Structure 1
């Protein structure tokens, strides 16, 4: 095989590699392949063997007739930091350069005549001897990377190259080899492998996060679309009622003008009907107002434009007032009892009392909406001497485990379709944002046997 470099260039490249220049740098700088570089190192071993014959007893020597280049390789073998050695066919060492002798903690005289079983653990010695026999039997070059265990128990990674040692007639008379420490190279490879695996893991994790974010985004878009449908329904229903009953009132008012004293009973019936229709208009108008107020509150809280009128107040009083305000709604559900449990002592809280009342009203309204019979209870107290605690509990159908973590999301109303249940899914998110604005905690619980309870904590006011 014809070399791509001249002998002097080959000598320079091999020398630079043996003196510590990284192989990848050598390959790139000189435009050669890894196979070429490895073959040239083997050629070095062959030439070094010839140049070292004068120093290896038992080998036929004609060192005086060696070319200068082979003599240079012999000098190089004695000066490089890589370990070079020669063995006979019985596995006995004939030669080791200074680097090899240093690695074995022996002088050259002490090394000669010893074998691998004298220097290494039995398992390692058996492996090294097997490699030597394969090289001697096949006449081929052996190359591997392996972990070498030192006599002191330590270990290091080495790259080993072995080739047949031949006499002048080409007969195999032993094995020559060279090895060098690649522990740092292995560490870098391991670090790169770990970094690659970590990068792949991080990419996979980030991809999952992005896919999940995309899924939630798509779900959010669907929720908003459902919300707009629900809002349209919520606005259309009271407006239809207002327009319809306003038309009836106009008709009844026209009829009243034609009535006389003789038709007084009929007049009273018409006026009663007009009052009932006017009441419906009022209720539907209040319903519209609550919807619009919720929308405005959510927008203000989200944009930081909400006005908070903070003051110190007794949470007992706000809870009592909230329960009183809801009596009318619960009166329409005779099978549902509304009760409240107050604390024996004042519960001082610094916040916007109207907003905290809004939280109570929303929670009680939500409980009434999902409870067909049983009891809804509002209770307040003090926890751990640091928190004002409030709880609204109902005996309704409860909340599934899958939904309990999502009910505070805007527009979300659980598994029930928005249009079938009155509301827009804004009440609980508003409650959550009001409580967290004051450094509080807000959560929900729902046992498997039904019912739900909503809890919130607010910091107690310690006084001025």
Structure 2
């Protein structure tokens, strides 16, 4: 083993290479891994200290080279025989260099143990990988074991022209150890190398994630800036508060109306934004819209009222221009999950109109004019409502496109998360847990890490199911779902659906399953995969919410309708929830212990209803809490005599 590479004279023929019977442990490829070198990834000062400590603790020489044999670190614990005697001769140095290069090239992931091509001492090597690419070789050795031919070594000293006495004395100082112990040292070195490979890849991925997070934050900031510009130039005075009631937007028109600059109002909470209108902090319409107060202030004359929107008029006395009568509209702001994240309120000074209306009420002769103005206002409101409906339709379409795009974009990183969580969990259980030995504290910590990895994998699987459900529901609602309709016998398709719960039933031996079907069931014409999705969802729910007992799948027909029933002896469904269980994101019994271990997306039954309705069918549920539930699907059969079922 040496610290340089060279092309010297032809060395003696190498002895057979001895490899440990271990498979290579290469990490999964990382982006642009071929552009990184070992010294680009690891701090060499830290690696040098680790190498020095390892060499001293194991009583071996050590060195890290690049794949071509060029040294990356300084040599550690080299023996005087190799450093001061053999390498001091031209032939000995050439053979040392050739041996190091050959030893580094012959390792492919598993540790290599071989006689050096110079003095015949025992050497070992293992590779360090990054993204599946060999970036360094860690060499150890300069050891004499029980099979070393010392006389051959001494003869080699005479062959290279070394001083015989000095050579013999230096040979006596070479570390002796059994081959078995040296093999264990090489195996430990392999674990070090694998750990370095994993650390490098994780550090690279973490760096990429941090960069992406920073870019995402920059995009959010840019979006907020554009939104602020839009709100700032709205003609009506407009303010926006967040979920905690803190002012985040206060546009120029609002500054002009109230005489309060945005710099003095942004970040204010505790209803401070009511002070410019009433002289003291008080809730405004936006606080009712976002749910901060249960009812609007009695001073408001409410024109329209909804769950998270309100239109009203009121006279305010604290404005710089004196008492003014204003019209205001407030709406809650929701995120993509439907959660309220704030509110927006727009205000319009309608003092002139208000005064005119008062004058019209006092002078009856102007009644016709007032009626006409009111009629015109109603027309304008009708137009606004029509425009709002158009905007809502467009927003709904944009929502579907957004959900579809986001679902597709999330699938790629989730697939990586699932794969790497599984890979890390397997490697941790197979490679690192056995290293805990008899240390109970370390073993407990290892088990906790393994359990945490299992949680990561399970939650990623659940998120993948949620994304798939959201994407399916979005396709159905947007009309972009591909329906592959064909004519088929329903009993065969239901039998396939029943197989989807075999794994779940295997984990729940306390739950039995039975499938029955009437004879001569008429055919259905629909997408068989969609029918499997409906029935599988109902069966999985039945098994998950049944502590013990039976789940049944029954297929019957009545006239022109095919009827499917899934019944269980589970926890049941409260009567007040039977009409809402098919709504999006609705989940039954959130406080029940069964529910805590049977987490779902809340979309499965909503998708089932959309599929059944698409084919002109009906789906409903009946239940008695504590005794079980029954879900029924009714679909139109292919009419008798219809040759192709069209």
TM-score range, shorter chain: 0.3 to 0.5
Q: Which has the higher helix share?
A: 1
- TM-score of the two chains, using structure 2 as the length reference: 0.31
Structure 1 or 2, whichever has the larger Rg, is 1
- TM-score of the two chains, using structure 1 as the length reference: 0.43
